[in-house]
Amino acid sequence: MSHETTATSAQLVGKITLITGATSGIGEAIARAYAREGACVVLTGRRADLGESVADQIRADGGKAEFLAADLTAPGAPQAVVEAATAAFGGLDVLVNNAAAFTSSLTHEVTEADFDRVIDLNYRATYFVTKAALPHLLANRTSKVVNIGTLGAVKSWPGASIYNSSKAALENLTRTWANEYGPQGVNVNTISPGLVADAPMAATPLAQMDVETYMIPTIPARRLCTTQDVVAAAVFLAGRGSDYLHGTRILLDGGLTA
């Protein structure tokens, strides 16, 4: 994985950020980018070895980072994680809801265990992490919530009924939270990428299709989304440039739905 070290304008200096699902893929890339932009980063995830390694590397590069090992679907975990995260650096300015689970099965093949695993993390845990974070986010009136969604909330495909519907619910929460907390200074928005070529979650669908023949020609950008495309949007939504964006979706699909 590429660990970029390019110079930045340090858009997030001093911002205290909590990123869920940050041990690899999109979450890790956002954590590294926020640290480069001057933020204090708290990473969460289930895999302690990977999370500690990411935090160590961020600190070695001069950034500020702490890792909290957590299964956000466990009883009480969302509240405990937020309390530990706010204690680490003394507050919270930006919450990135990235942790997610994926399953690919046609609806008649889906088990209750499949359903519960995806919904518990993608929807329920996200809901209660945000609920726990809100008192801290509301305290400063210049805070941000960045939700990581999917193109699948808009343009679905066979086998993704649970994942896509969970992310569609997240988009509805984005609009609801914007109405509930925007007047008090909390910006809530969603990034909805298409298939992210270099994200671990994309490995299975990429292996199941001839992307170059059947997918790339349908995308005006003539390429798949990358983690750095998502990172650029995540940095923007965490910074002052997005202050007038409330309850919206940034659709990173390369023009697929145009």
pLDDT recorded at residue 64: 98
239 CB-contact burial (10 Å; exposed 0-12 / middle 13-18 / buried 19+)? middle
Average pLDDT for 132-151: 96
Q: Which residues are catalytic?
A: 163
Q: Over the stretch 47-72, which tens digit does the pLDDT of each residue have?
A: 999 999 999 999 999 999 999 999 99
Query: What is the greatest pairwise CA distance in the chain?
Result: 51
Nearest Cα neighbor of 42 from 4, 92, 7, 8 is 92
What domains appear along the chain, each with residue ranges and CATH number? 16-251 (3.40.50.720)
DSSP H/E element including 29: helix 25-36
Average pLDDT for 127-144: 96
Q: Over the stretch 234-255, which tens digit does the pLDDT of each residue have?
A: 999 999 999 999 999 999 999 9
Contact 100, 72 (CB under 8 A): no
- 8 compared with 1, residue with greater pLDDT: 8
CA–CA gap between residue 123 and residue 59 (Å, rounded): 31
Nearest Cα neighbor of 85 from 22, 16, 135, 145 is 16
- pTM: predicted TM-score of the whole model, two decimal places: 0.93
Q: Over the stretch 5-42, which tens digit does the pLDDT of each residue have?
A: 344 568 899 999 999 999 999 999 999 999 999 999 99
Contact 49, 72 (CB under 8 A): no
Is the pLDDT confidence value at 167 over 70? yes
How many percent of the chain have pLDDT more than 90? Answer: 83
Terminal-to-terminal C-alpha distance of the chain: 31
Average pLDDT for 89-110: 95
Four-CA torsion 257, 130, 197, 220, nearest 10 degrees: 20
How many percent of the chain have pLDDT more than 70? Answer: 94
Q: Over the stretch 184-225, which tens digit does the pLDDT of each residue have?
A: 999 999 999 998 988 887 667 777 777 888 889 999 999 999
- Which ranges of 37-158 does DSSP label H, i.e. alpha helix? 48-60, 77-89, 112-119, 126-138
Nearest Cα neighbor of 248 from 205, 207, 192, 164 is 192
